[in-house]
Chains A and B, each alone.
Chain A
Amino acid sequence: DAGVTQSPTHLIKTRGQHVTLRCSPISGHKSVSWYQQVLGQGPQFIFQYYEKEERGRGNFPDRFSARQFPNYSSELNVNALLLGDSALYLCASSLGGGAKTQYFGPGTRLLVL
């Protein structure tokens, strides 16, 4: 079975631009979470979606937004990119509805110049 997939794997943008990151969960999983991992640190929670509804949001500015589609895939959007947005963006999926274990994709490495 395919695991969590993310696209693109790498991305280079300039300050002020917009970026969209994509994630497909494991088949049968209905919950998707997004995390930002700055180099040398542990991940920070950005969003969690379950059944297309936002279930949780971390301490990130409104420039960050996300959505979940009827097929449970998800997009993370970041507007007005800053140098500090350079990071590894991780997507995780879980069964949802009480399941606690999250399974991660390979991540998208974003570099903002």
Chain B
Amino acid sequence: AQTVTQSQPEMSVQEAETVTLSCTYDTSESDYYLFWYKQPPSRQMILVIRQEAYKQQNATENRFSVNFQKAAKSFSLKISDSQLGDAAMYFCAYSPIKDSNYQLIWGAGTKLIIKP
């Protein structure tokens, strides 16, 4: 069974600095999707960034970028120029493609604190 592990329960960063959140996953599949979602105190899960496993190029969305290491099954999120609004729980998620089952499998989350 596929699993997702986020080993950092909490991270803190000074405003305007850069922070990296870690995620590892386990799967025997060769094709899948990986996501980072953000969940602020308002509870709504917001998509941050998505990576297709068949793409070697790391995904980037403005200040957010990933370091996707397929062989190591690692998928870290880098946030540049951290802003107060980035404070939230960040979840890493894996989506299989096989059998048209698109369920998301989630890590336990990392709480990101931004220090002003």
Contacts and interface: CB of A to CB of B under 8 A. Distances in A.
Counting chain A residues whose Cβ lies within 8 A of the other chain, the interface size class is 20 to 34
Given A41-B108, A42-B91, A42-B108, A104 B103 contact: no
A43 B47 contact: no
> What size tier do the contact residues of chain B reach?
20 to 34
Interface string A38-58: 000111110010100001101
Nearest to B52: A100
Given A42-B108, A42-B109, A100-B97, A94 B43 contact: no
Given A48-B103, A90-B45, A102-B104, 9 more contacts: A31-B102, A42-B107, A56-B101, A99-B102, A100-B97, A101-B47, A104-B46, A106-B43, A106-B44
Interface of B: 4, 33, 35, 37, 42-47, 50, 91, 93, 95, 97, 100-109
Interface of A: 31, 33, 35, 41-45, 48, 50, 55-56, 58, 88, 90, 92, 94, 99-107, 109
